[in-house]
Structures are given as structure tokens and as C-alpha cells.
Structure 1
């Protein structure tokens, strides 16, 4: 026991030392003796005897230690009846192998304590083959959460209908839809977003995919049939209103470009808000109070004519007289489901950072698919793109920040610089994991406080523009003008650069502790047909970027190297130049 306590205390001291000094690259742990496999097995048995939860937390600490993992698996399976109150034990006996063999251990599941939503969702992935006992447990867990909490994972739940041979997931979805109108509406929009538009000349889909797509309208119909008269009335008003707004795009398509703005205004004047309980589909806590009819703007797009419209909204639980503007983009002919996935990961990271008290900024704006290749995208308030900023000045970010916030060293400039730093660090961690490409200046926004916000996630994980040339080789965008703000010395020795590095390292270390939840969220979408899963090994490579085999200091050093590598990497500047030459997007 004493040896185990010493080892765990030493490991915790090492971890806290890294957290306290994230960019001190020396690894104290490497000078200690290696622990043999036999010793790990002893540690596992001792920990399990004291309290099984200590053994499970050791797996969190040493996720790639196979001796530890196999011994704890053995212990769980031997003492299974004593562990029913500990959800952390589940992964040690609910395994793809146990499912294949229909193991008798799975008979324990009806008596097991509920686990987290992300752990439950992992059991919906294909390796678990929709085993009835496992599915019944997962759905019992989901039932313990309010439906509105579960809506965050709606894309994953809809995908799991692919493997739902016993209709257990469908049963859960229909039940939750009866309990919550918002859950029902979000579910219907996602079901519609998964429907495939009929395109002549396209090859027939695989039978499993065809079965999935033919199931979706039937599930939608069952939800609508289950509505009470009041719920049906609200559903019809909500959907009809936003369908009318979305369909303006089709009306504009034949019009010449110069007449489109007037065309939007004409169409908006025909639409009234039918009732005071309509909400923005991308932000269910915002009630719509009206449309600003002069706000409609047609946008440039490779596909059809997306339009931007500003609504007057009030907070569901706020002051009913506090009306604020909220702009949304309505897209037709564009699949925005991949953006939803990227923004889910960004939202998970934001919650992780908040939970550990890290001052890192991410803005996961709302995106919702509402039909085949249709969707609504929330506009990030009070922002302009780096490209738009370039239209008013020839200077770089440093000059623009001085124009907007005052001279270097003034309180307002330094406050804006700090805002830029905490947001750049947040997006550095998110970008390392998601690998978003196409990071030109049209896709980088700055808000009125100086914070950076990334938008448009059409290329993530393994895919990149230009037939996957992989031109942007840095893990995240850190162009020369960004480094001028983050590193005034230009030599990677300034206090602000070191502070930026510390934030990046801490954000990465915090994210690593929730690796499984993030990977599960992405993995459940693997059969969705999204472009980001079309090549390479996206899930295996996502796991590699977390580096579970590294200890805390090694992971911290990896993140420092990643930041140094991104520092003014030539490929980022080269990509901006290509965008400038091709599309006139400012460098």
C-alpha cells in the first residue's frame, strides 16, 4: 500500500509541477526507475483491494499501460457483483469481444449504475453491434437526463438508428420527443438534414444506407403523429415560418445579382411571426420577436444563393423588453452537417476549459441542418472577418489593433491583446485536434474585444482543399501578423509569447483528460457519409494527436513544439497568397 501511495503521490506531484510550469521542458519523471509489468500488476491488485475506483482512476492516468489494463479487466470480471454502483467499471466488461460472445457478464447491466452520456454513446458505436442488453442499458442512462440535455448529441443519436435493429433507439427518441417539444423539433430537423436529395445519375447507395434513409421519414411521421394538438400547432408554426425564410434563396436564384437585395426585402415583407413562442432553431433559448426586413443580404457562395437575415430576439428567461439583434445565414445547396460536428468538438473543449477554470476562449456558434443540403448558421455577433478588416487599411493586425484600441502599452490595447491571446490559444488546441484547413482570412473573425473566432469547417480531419494537396502543414494558423501581437520581441522570448504557450499547453493537457468523450463524439459519425471520413484514418489519427502514450511533461513539450512549428510557418503565408491571387481574399 505504501509503495502504491508513493507512486501515485509522485505521479500527482509530477502532474501538478507540469501544470504549474507548463513550459519548463525538463522532465523530472524520466530520472525515476522504470516500473516492471509485475509491479504494475501488484499496484493494480492493491488499489483494487483498497477501493476499485482508485484502480479505475489509474487507467485514466496510464491509459496505454497494457499490464495495468489487463489486470484490472481480470479483477472486474472476477468481482463483478461488487461493482454495480461504479459506472467506471463498464468498459472492462462491455467490450466488442463480450458482445460477439454474448458474454454472461452482460446480464449484470440491468442492475448497473448510470454512466455519463458520452460513455453511454460509445456503446452505440458499430463494434457493439446493437446488442439488446447493452442498448437497453444505454437507453436507461439517456432516460435519466432531461431531453434538452441530450439534444446536444442529436446528430450521433440519429446516426445510431443505422444499427438499431430492435428499434430501441427509435423508441427512446419517440419517448423523449413526447416529453419535450424542443427535443422533437431538433430531432425532426436532423432527420430532414440526413435525407438524401434525389439526384438523377447517382449510383445507388449501399443497402444498409438505403434502409437508414427510408427509415427517417417514417420516424419523422411517428413523432408528428405523437404530438398533442397544442404541440402540433406549435410545430407547424415554427417549421412553416423558417421554411418560408429559407425558401427565399430559391426565389432569388433566377434574379440578376443587383436585384437580389430588393428581392429579399420583398419576400420578407410577406412573412409575419405567427405567435410569441417561436424560437431560433440554432439557439432554442432565443424567442423571435420580429424580422428586420431591411437586413436581408445575399451572400457569395459556390453553391446557391445563401442569405443573411437579422431577427429581433429576446432571451427565453430574460427581460422580455430587452430585444437584441441576431443574424442568421440560411443556406440552400450546402451540407452543413460537418460544421455541426466540428462545433460539437469545440463546444466540448469550451466546457472542459471552463470546468478546470482555464481562461481560454472558444465560440461554438449555432449551426443546424434543416433539410437535405439546407441549414441555418448563427452569425457570430459583433465580428468582422480579417478579410473585411483589410479593406479599410493596408496595415497588419498590429496596426489595426492600434487603430481600434489605442497605442501599444495603453490599457485598452493590452486588454485587446490579451483577448486575442486567450482566443488564439483556445483555437490552437481545437485546431490541433480537428485539423481545420482552408484557414484563409475570410474564415477568421475578430470581435469587438479583439478575440479571434474561426468559422467554416468544410475541411477537417483528413481532408483539405485542392484535392487534398495538404498545403497548410502547420497544425494551426499562426501567421506573421499574429505573431507580431503574440510575440512583440519577434524572438519567442517575450512574456506574452510565454503566456500564450502556457495557455496552449494547459488547454491541451485538459483536453487529453477527456480524450475518450471527444473521440466517441466523432466516431459515432463515421458512417454518416461526411467528407471528413472519406479518406485516411481519421479516428486513429485523432487519437494519435492526443498522444495518450505520453506522460504530462512529454505532452506539454509536444504542444510547445507544435506552437513553435506553427510560428510563422511558410506554408500558411503561401496558402494566404494563393487565396489572394485566386479569390481576392486579403493576405
Structure 2
């Protein structure tokens, strides 16, 4: 069983008459949602008295109990806190965005109490909590907040932040100040570069990086707390193209916290200013949950949920996916499609190296097909598709998910996932959806989708907890209801498998994907 997601077996409840066998069910965490309901809370049901004796559920199920529907019922809250306390703080940091959102409804300040206690147990937990609190802060330049509930939430953020800092020991306070000052200096370089002409910005980054000193050997990468920083590669700093301000990419020398301290390796991060990273975090949380689900059930699918950390209002740090280049970058060196590029990079069709790369492409394409069906990411141009050095596909940039899409794309991205013609050349050499590789791809998509359905509630809870966050993906339509519909809980496994097969066939036949790539090429110069 995954520690973070519930798979609720319905057959249990056909065997047991529920209330008469409540004592038998207390050892089954998956049974909890059938007893702890908003209605049970409203009626203060006697069933809630069993909660102190109930086995701990997953964190994702506990998160649902923090939503307003459960009204902060004391017995429910006591159970939730017991679940959270049962995990090491570093494990809980994965759900930090959801825990911060739960402060909106924390009238009894019980969640706040848990966060403060966990912060005293773990410096990393405390730091990630503070960064997330800062990431939720609304500046005077940001969108006005009209809801009184949101105003009180905004007022609470600096209070909680200060309580955490006040609870630091002198040693912990020293680490906090050095860690935050170091990465604030790197992030602030973006503001220095903004007024400079583009041709002067790279030299400007180098000048600013040279001024930054590393104080101590215990500073770590915020996106990878297990990586201790040993220095900055000054000449690695480059400005990136963006509609926002001037994001920069910087490579650090790092060592593993628990490994050989002499084994220094490069690790690159992107520092963004003027760009809200919180929606990317949510999308990557879902992708990380799917990755863990696939691994738990033994389905050979590949996903790479790179790390993103909001560090302030419209500020954040993004892990650079290692050993990758975008499809548009690949187009700068050749006129051929993916089929030709793979032969150029890995050898002729049929060779062991080519077929290994093609297999990697299949398992990663299938993984992202399932993730895309659920998240509905748009703006899937070739600048947002990466390929690593063994042929695996990685999606980046989740500014448009769920019900949102870029203005003016005229619904060109109407398939559930991107499957361009050049992708089908690799997946289906026959061109008629009958080749062994195409059938393998579809089979993996089906297995991945069926596995995701088993853990549907954990994924939906993770997204639902962010509903009041103000993220753009919740600004229109019914994002939670439609997400649930895409799991098709009403379908049998056979029906769901047939549905996923139809999704793959539909993506194969869509001409609109090529149309959107053409628009991106004309408007922004992004290679098709």
C-alpha cells in the first residue's frame, strides 16, 4: 500500500454489514471515508467516537478531512494530527502546499500547532514551510483579494512564519539566516539583469555570481535538501528567455548529504522572478503520485517529476531536468523528425541501442499520456517537451492545466495527450496502429490508467485541497468534478480499458496537434 494514497476496496463493504461490524473495520484505513463523512460530522455521529482506535490512513485521505466540509470536528482533527505525527516531518513536506492551504480553515489552530511542532523537529521542514508561506504572500502588485477569509489567511502567513523563527534554537536560526540569504542573493540577480540589454546579461550574471560567498558547508539546494552546496560555477550562469522578467540558470557544485563528501557533482537550477510557480508544483505533485503508483503496482512507466519550490510571491526555484534538450533545440541541428534523430543518435533501426531508446520513449510517452489525460496540460509545444540522453520524454511547464488553456489556441490541443505525427513514426512504424510497438504503447497506457483509478481518491484530494488557492487552473469550469469524471469511476475495469484505448486512437488521429505546433512556430519561432 502506498503511504500517501488510498486505494479503496469496495468489496469489503459487501461482506460486512457496516455499523454492526465497526470494530472489525477499525483496522482497515480504507473503510474510514464510509464512516467519517460530512453528514456524520453534522450529526456528531457516535461512529466518530471510534476514531481514536482507527488505524492510520494515508496522508492524502487525512488531507480531505482538513477541508471545510468536516468543520474542524475535534475528533476528526485529533485523528488527522495523529496521522501526520506518525510520519517523519521530511516525508510530510511533499504535501506542504496543501497543509499551508489548510490554515485557511484552521479555526482551532490545530494544524498550525502541528506545523510548528514539526518545524522544531526538522530544519528542512521548517525551511520548506517558510518558503511555501512566502510563496502564498500576495504583494501590492498582485491580484487584489476581496474575500474576508483570504484577507485573514494573508494576515496569518507572516504570523506563522515568525512563530517558526521564534522557535529556532541559536544553531537552527544561524542555518536559516545563511540558507535564505544565500539563495535570495542568487534569485535577486534577475532584478539586476532586467534593465540590461540582452547581449550584456550573461556577463552581468557572472559579475553578480562572483560577489556571492558560500558561508558554511551545511547549505543545501532548496529543491534537493539531500544535496549540500560546495560552490557556484560562475561561468554556468545564463539568462533564459521568458515573457516574465529574467529567469536565470545557475549550476552549483554539490555533494550528497549522506554520501562521499569528496564526490562533487554539478546540479543546475532555474531561478524565476515574476512567475508564479505554485501551479507547476500541483501538477508535479500529481505526476509524482502517479510515478509512485506505477512503481507500487509494478507497471513499467516512466515519469520525471522534477522539483519546483515557490520561495516568495512570484518567485521560485526549479530543478533542471538533467541530460535533456527540448524538441525545439533538437530541431536547430537537424531537419529530420524524431525517427531520423533517434537513428542519428542511437544507430540504425533494429540495432540494440536504437530499440533500447525506442523502448524508453514508449514507456515515458505512455506515462505522460496517462498523466496528461488526468491533468489536461495545454501549451504542449516543442519547447515544453524534453528528451533525455537515453530517449525518454519529459514534459515541463504546467502553466495551463485542468480547465485552462492559452488564449487564442482555438482549441487546437483537443486530444487528451500530445501525439504528433513524428511521435507516431517511432511508436507505430506500420502507420496503421497494428505494429508491436504501438500495441505495447497502448497496453502500457491502459495498465497505467487502471492503476491510477485504484488511487483516484488520493489524487483528487491532493488537487481539491488547493481549490481556494487562487491558482489559475481553478478559475473556470468544474475542475474537481471534471477530474473525477476523467477517472470514470462508474466504469468496470474492462470498460475503462476500452476507454483508454479509444483515447489513444483519438490522439493518434488528431490533426490539431500539428496545427498547434505550426502556430507556435509562426508566432514564437519554436521549432515544430
The TM-score, its normalising length taken from structure 2, stands at 0.96
Partners of 2:437 and 2:24 lie apart in 1 by: 52
The whole-number CA distance in structure 1 between the counterparts of 2:503 and 2:26 is 43
- Equivalents in 1 of 2:164, 2:216: separation in Å? 22
Structure 1 residues 525-569: Cα deviation after superposition (integer angstroms, max 9, x where no partner): 011000000001111111111111111111111111100100141
User: How many Å separate the matches in 2 of 1:95 and 1:541?
Assistant: 22
Q: 37, 47, 64: which is aligned to 1:122?
A: 64
Task: Report the CA distance between 1:442 and its aligned residue.
Answer: 0.1
**Do structure 1's residue 364 and structure 2's residue 286 form an aligned pair?**
no
How is 1:80-479 mapped onto 2 (pairs within 5 angstroms)?
A: 80-199=22-141, 203-466=144-407, 469-479=410-420
Counterpart CA distance in 1 for 2:512 and 2:256 is 44
In structure 1, the partner of 2:429 is 488
Report which stretch shifted further, 550-559 or 113-122: 113-122
Cα offset, 1:59, TM superposition: 4.5
Contact 1:76 1:89 in 2 (8 A): no
1:156 is paired with a residue of what secondary structure? helix
2: distance between equivalents of 1:204 and 1:279? 35
How far apart are 1:57 and its partner, in Å? Answer: 2.8
The 3 A distance-change label for structure 1 pair 554 and 82 is closer
Q: Deviations over 1:99-122 (max 9, x none)?
A: 122223222222322111111111
Distance 2:512 2:48 in 1: 52
Determine which of 535, 545, 552 is the counterpart of 2:486.
545
Q: How far apart, in 1, do the equivalents of 2:70 and 2:410 lie?
A: 36
Say yes or no: does 1:559 pair with 2:500: yes
Relative to its length, the structure with more helix (as a share) is 1
RMSD after superposition:
1.5
Whole-Å separation in 1 of the counterparts to 2:509 and 2:345: 24
Q: In terms of mean alpha carbon deviation, does 78-87 or 390-399 score higher?
A: 78-87
Secondary structure of the residue aligned to 1:548 is: coil
Verify the 8 A CA contact 1:579 1:585 in the aligned structure 2: yes
Provide Cα deviations, 1:337-395, integer angstroms capped at 9, x if missing partner.
00000000000011111111221110000000000000000000010000000000111
Question: Are the aligned partners of 1:148 and 1:180 in contact in 2 as well (CA < 8 Å)?
Answer: yes
Mapped partners of 2:321, 2:71: distance in 1: 40
Q: Please give the alpha-carbon distance, in whole angstroms, between the structure 2 residues aligned to 1:525 and 1:355.
A: 26
1:417 to partner: Cα distance:
0.7
For 1:168 and 1:505, locate their aligned partners in 2 and report how far apart those are by CA, in whole Å.
42
Q: Are the aligned partners of 1:480 and 1:568 in contact in 2 as well (CA < 8 Å)?
A: no
The one-character-per-residue Cα deviations of 1:62-106 (angstroms, maximum 9, x if unpaired) are xxxxxx68x96xx33344345433323311221011112222322
Question: With structure 1 as the length reference, what TM-score do the two structures score?
Answer: 0.87
Q: Which has the larger radius of gyration?
A: 1
Q: Distance in 1 between matches of 2:109 and 2:410?
A: 42
Taking structure 1 as reference, are residues 355 and 81 closer, same or farther at Cα in structure 2, changes over 3 Å only? closer
- 2:5 corresponding residue in structure 1: none
- Deviation of 1:468 after TM superposition, in Å, equals 7.4
> What stretches of structure 1 of length at least 5 have no aligned partner?
1-55, 61-67
Residue 197 of structure 1: CA displacement? 1.1
